[in-house]
């Protein structure tokens, strides 16, 4: 009987932990979109990748120096990326800040077709076919969106689809608040 007590206690403890997490998520006190990135307040990772829209060109983060920008990690295979796409188009129309796309683990031709069909909100789109740049940025799922200051620091990270409310509540104040 005693040899079954250890696994039973472990099961009860894990069940309790899961229950607490589920209750916190249900009460809105735990939001996975607010997972902090170790990059916040640090220099944005540099990259130089082929352009999705013109394979003979490069998207080089050094060319973004001195400019505030949004980096949006996406893929054509990502259903949530398709859902957030109209929001990115609207943000791009507002001309607050350029959006740089990081097409993650995708075929450039498929990405070009996606953008031709749904519209292109990006000032530039980099092809991260092997996912190494996304790893540098700490990405573990698409979509993820980062705001980078003009001094090159990561200001905020959004996990999951961008929404108008997230944009206006979390990103726009950093753009208009002088975090450049």
Q: Domain holding 134: CATH number?
A: 3.40.30.10
Q: Say what percent of the chain tops pLDDT 90.
A: 71
Please indicate, yes or no, whether residues 87 and 150 belong to a single structural domain of this protein: yes
Residue that the structure tokens 């092809």 belong to = 127
Same domain for 3 and 65, yes or no, is no
Residues 168 and 157 in one domain: yes
* 85 and 159 assigned to the same domain: yes
Do 6 and 88 fall within a single domain? no
Please check whether residues 100 and 163 belong to one and the same domain: yes
52 and 114 belong to one structural domain: yes
pLDDT under 70: residue ranges of the chain: 1-36, 178-180
Q: What is the structure's pLDDT at 54?
A: 83
Do 90 and 9 belong together in one domain? no
> Looking at the structure, do residues 100 and 14 belong to the same domain, yes or no?
no
The whole-number pLDDT of residue 12 equals 59
Q: Indicate if 74 and 156 belong to the same structural domain.
A: yes
For position 176, what pLDDT does the model report?
80
Residues 11 and 36 grouped into a single domain: no
pLDDT for 3 equals: 67
- What is the pLDDT of the chain when averaged over all its residues? 86
Domain that holds residue 147: 32-176
Look up residue 126 and give its two tokens: 């980099």
pLDDT for the residue numbered 17 = 46
Q: In what order do the strands lie in the sheet with 124-128?
A: 124-128, 99-104, 69-74, 144-148, 154-159
pLDDT of residue 39: 85
Asked if residue 133 and residue 51 are part of one domain, the reply reads: yes
């Amino acid at each position: 009987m005693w040899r079954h007590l250890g696994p039973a206690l472990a099961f009860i403890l894990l069940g309790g932990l899961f229950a607490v997490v589920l209750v916190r998520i249900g009460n809105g006190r735990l939001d996975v979109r607010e997972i902090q990135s170790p990059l916040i307040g640090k220099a944005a990772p540099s990259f130089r990748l082929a352009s999705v829209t013109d394979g003979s060109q490069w998207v080089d983060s050094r060319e973004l120096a001195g400019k505030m920008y949004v980096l949006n990690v996406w893929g054509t295979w990502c259903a949530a990326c398709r859902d957030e796409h109209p929001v990115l188009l609207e943000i791009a129309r507002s001309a607050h800040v350029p959006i740089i796309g990081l097409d993650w683990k995708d075929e450039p031709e498929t990405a070009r077709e996606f953008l031709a069909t749904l519209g292109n909100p990006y000032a530039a789109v980099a092809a991260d076919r092997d996912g190494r740049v996304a790893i540098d940025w700490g990405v573990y799922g698409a979509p993820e969106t980062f705001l980078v200051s003009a001094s090159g620091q990561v200001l905020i990270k959004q996990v999951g689809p961008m929404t108008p409310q997230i944009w206006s509540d979390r990103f726009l104040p950093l753009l208009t608040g002088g975090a450049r």
